[in-house]
Chain A
Amino acid sequence: MKALKDLFDNLKPNFEKGGKWEKYHTLYEGHRTIVFAPDLTTKAKGAQIKDATDLKRVMITVVIAMIPTLLFGILNVGEQHFLAVGEEATWMDKALFGAMSVLPILIVSYGVGLLTEFIFCVVRNHPISEGYLVSGMLIALVMPPHVPLWQVALATIFAVVIGKEVFGGTGMNILNVAMTARAFLYFAYPADISGDQVWTYFADKAPVDGFSGATALSVVYDAGVREVNAVEALNEHNSIIGDGLYSLSNMFMGWIPGSIGETSTLMCLIGAVILIATGVGSWKIIVSGFAGAYVMGLVMNLLAVNEYMALPPEYHWVMGGLAFGIVFMATDPVSAAQTETGKWIYGFLIGVFTIIIRVTNPAYPEGIMLAVLFMNVVAPLIDYYVVKANKTRRLQRATV
């Protein structure tokens, strides 16, 4: 510790005014404050003491909440691989295989994203903010397991620059940064992030005969087209590699193909518990998001003209990325609604729109990405009306 402090102290003159790396002082301070919480004190006027929680601690709490989905995702990538190629494998093999495909994505996401942030911080001379700690993890978790790394890098740069820095950096962005990255890939390279072929990583092996890589969402959509019962179609899917791959319980556990972190509803719920218990994520958004999806599922049932619409609403909770999106993306405080009333509406509508897009739009099998981005854009409008109601109350009070 003393040695570390000396190291920083020795480097310090280079970064001070007139030093040879003066331009990069924000990088120096950024790193020093990670190792040592800064020695700043409160001003002479105003609050003389401050809460022990800072933004770094808030952000790391979100990262911790995502760890279960990351670990499960690593294991599941291996599980899906060995299931698809029809080989027996130990947990160790699965974890190793998963780590080999997930960790590079994570490293690229953090490496490229942080580098982009650092460049912006130096150029614009503002302090390094903690926001990317969360975005970097999120971007990796919403990628399919064998997405080309250069695409991850490209999407990350796009998201950080266009999604965040052009608005002024952390706290100023309109869209969720990680969702922006995914949407960029979705529209720029659809072949690598949609369809039936990308959700299981085969590596250099061939899948077993009769294997289908279709996700639960496309199985249900297909059932609608073929006019067979959706739940039965899910239960019968891929019986070549084992029964009940898309049973309700298995989808809840998450042993299904999909993007790295999104498959397990259970792990997302563990994350939700961490976010809610620590007060970092808004429980209002999470609860209303799930409620919105369920209610819209019921409405679809009532109006059902095809098998997809007749799908029991609880299936919507466990298929696709709904749980992950609501727990980790919708709760991003910067892009979400910021009034407490607005949060109820915002979360609820994300759930509703996700189901509408899923069920009624054949071009987009998953709706959560577009629903979150759409509601990010609409959130200021919701807040506008909540704020307006507050102003009106004040005004009415004045006239009586």
Chain B
Amino acid sequence: MSKIVKLKKGFDMKLVGKAPLEIANLAASQTFAIKPTDFPGIQRPKVLVNEGDTVKAGTPILIDKAMDQVIYAAPVSGEIVEIKRGEKRKLLEIKILADQTITHENFGKIDLNQDRDALAAKLASTGVWPNIIQRPFGIVANPADSPKAIFISAFDTHPLAPDYGFTLQGQESFFQAGIDALAKLTKGKVHLNVDGAKPAAAVFSGVKNAQINQFSGPHPAGNVGVQIHHLDPINKGDLVWTVSPAGVVQIGKAVLQGIYDASKTIALTGSELTKAGYVKTFVGANVASFVKGNLNSGHVRVISGNVLTGEKINLDGHLGFYHNQITVIPEGDYEEFLGWIKPSTAKLSFHKALGMFSFLNKGEFKVDTNTHGEERPFVVSGVFEKVLPMDILPTYLFKAIVAEDFDEMEELGLYELVEEDVALCEFVDPSKNEIQGLVRHGIELLMYS
């Protein structure tokens, strides 16, 4: 039985630099990288290749010794050109120089009628498995677990987010196959949550074997965590999985074609790109060919992902494993004369405090990375509650994490949250606290102790 949920709380941002629905004509990336830091649950990463080795798309290059049945595969075929390590030899990147034409490891089509555990083990050995995320904690799922349900958010409400209807067009059969495989892995339902405000895209509308729910409202209505809360909330001891639509397509390709096809269409967005648009590439792509020569100004920040949950990367950095867009905005390292009191309609703000007239501005906002103030203790109350459409008391939860009070963290609902769910809280906080980092800290406390 499908559900229709209308959410009121939240905040939509209209930013400059939305990608028009067309494939931009840009040079292909030369290198691709797998970054263990993209997977917060990895405990003991082990590299399976050496510099100079040649790999095919789907060749295992990395495992987590704590969960070695899941392999992390090369997204493209080519040569391992660099294994980058940081302080204390922490593994940062495995970089591959791609071949002109991609060749794939072929592990044979996957029979969906086999035993559930065998199917999970098979998928875990193909490279598509890290697309499956476990909640609580937001880490790569363990194939041995049996989740209560699987949730897929079919739309992204983050600022400048890609349109999945466009990026996944023509992938209907793969998407359906992915859903079928996932349905095998859970005893419960597969929930596909579509945007209730628009007619569903072709790739999602005809899907069978899943419960289709409609969500509408401002961001974070598209966050899978919020959707889970309203469909079948996570309690202590529960285990659910989430997959992004692009991940479902990858799983479907593994099932139908027997290959790890890491290709994806990503959005190039942000006010500092001369030409925004979409580009076809692979997981972990080097972004240099998309941004160099495509910039409006010199002093920019390139973000893998969106402006709320993304990560700063270099001009020649690599796309994060889970990211479907890059955003380029100006750096904000400038001082502003009386910036804390000047009235403005051009500065984006959730608040209406003195002189903040952005609520009158119906146009698009150009944002930069300035924090617009220094960090302070929590003072203002009732703000986080307005942007978190869940029955959770965010202020109390955050304070429990600061105090490292385990019982409180559990009882106040930390199992239901990952970073992206509180990203808006971090944005609107007048005290400028780093709330996403705080939530990850709390999750790690619960996981490892």
Interface, chain A (partner B; CB < 8 A): 1, 4-5, 33-58, 60-61, 64, 127, 129-131, 168-172, 277-280, 282, 333-334, 336, 338-340, 343, 383, 386-387, 390-391, 393-395, 397-398
Contact = CB atoms under 8 A, between A and B. Distances in A.
Interface of B: 233, 235-238, 301, 303, 307-312, 327, 329, 331-341, 344, 347-356, 358, 367-374, 376-382, 385, 391-393, 395-396, 411-413, 419, 423, 426-432, 434-437
Given A52-B348, A340-B385, A41 B335 contact: no
25 contacts: A36-B335, A37-B335, A37-B338, A37-B370, A38-B373, A41-B370, A42-B332, A44-B312, A47-B307, A47-B427, A48-B327, A49-B369, A52-B344, A52-B372, A53-B350, A53-B351, A53-B356, A53-B373, A169-B377, A171-B431, A280-B380, A333-B380, A334-B379, A340-B385, A398-B238
* Residue among A43, A127, A282, A343 with most chain B CB within 10 A: A43
A105 B271 CA distance: 51
Contact of A170 (B235, B327, B376, B429): B376
Contacts of B429: 50-51
A48 B312 contact: yes
Contacts of B372: 37, 50-54
A278 B369 CA distance: 25
Given A49-B308, A279-B352, 4 more contacts: A47-B426, A60-B341, A60-B354, A386-B393
A49 B367 contact: yes
A42 B311 CA distance: 10
A339 B344 CA distance: 31
B351 A279 contact: yes
B411 A51 contact: no
A49 B310 CA distance: 10
A46 B347 contact: no
Contacts of A34: 340
B395 A280 contact: no
Contacts of B391: 390, 393-394
A48 B158 CA distance: 13
A131 B379 contact: yes
A386 B307 CA distance: 34
A38 B374 contact: yes
B307 A49 contact: yes
A397 B235 contact: yes
B437 A45 contact: yes
B430 A53 contact: yes
A3 to B, nearest CB: 12
A38 B393 contact: no
B325 to A, nearest CB: 12
A54 B374 contact: yes
Given A51-B350, A52-B348, A279-B353, A171 B427 contact: no
Given A42-B369, A387-B396, A47 B423 contact: yes
B237 A56 contact: no
Nearest to A393: B391
A41 B331 contact: yes
Nearest to B431: A55
Given A36-B339, A39-B334, A41-B332, A51 B427 contact: yes
A45 B436 contact: yes
- Chain A CB count within 10 A is highest, among B371, B392, B437, for B371
Contacts of A4: 337
Contacts, number: 225
Contacts of B434: 43, 46
Contact of B353 (A45, A50, A58, A338): A58
Contacts of A340: 382, 385
Contacts of A40: 333, 370-371, 374
Contact of B336 (A37, A44, A279, A394): A37
Nearest to A130: B376
A36 to B, nearest CB: 4
A51 B368 CA distance: 10
Nearest to A168: B377
A57 B423 contact: no
Contacts of B367: 49
Contacts of A42: 332, 369-371
A37 B339 contact: yes
Residue of B327, B381, B434 most packed against chain A (CB within 10 A): B381
Given A37-B336, A39-B335, A47-B423, A61 B374 contact: no
A34 to B, nearest CB: 7
Nearest to B424: A47
A127 B308 contact: no
Nearest to B232: A397
Nearest to A2: B337
Given A36-B336, A278-B353, A56 B341 contact: yes
A224 B332 CA distance: 65
The 9 closest A-B pairs by CB, nearest first: A54-B373, A37-B339, A171-B377, A398-B235, A52-B347, A36-B335, A61-B354, A44-B312, A56-B340
A5 B413 CA distance: 47
Nearest to B236: A398
A41 B356 contact: no
Contacts of B373: 37-38, 50, 53-57
A44 to B, nearest CB: 4
Given A48-B369, A51-B348, A333 B381 contact: yes
Given A49-B368, A53-B430, A339-B393, A64 B340 contact: no
B419 A46 contact: yes
A48 B377 contact: no
Nearest to A53: B351
Nearest to B370: A41
A35 B329 contact: no
B168 to A, nearest CB: 26
Contact of A387 (B335, B380, B393): B393
Given A36-B337, A44-B312, A52 B349 contact: yes
Nearest to B372: A52
A58 B379 contact: yes
A394 B413 contact: yes
Contacts of A334: 379
Given A41-B369, A57-B341, A171-B379, A277 B374 contact: no
Contact of B356 (A52, A169, A170, A391): A52
A51 B307 contact: no
A1 B369 CA distance: 23
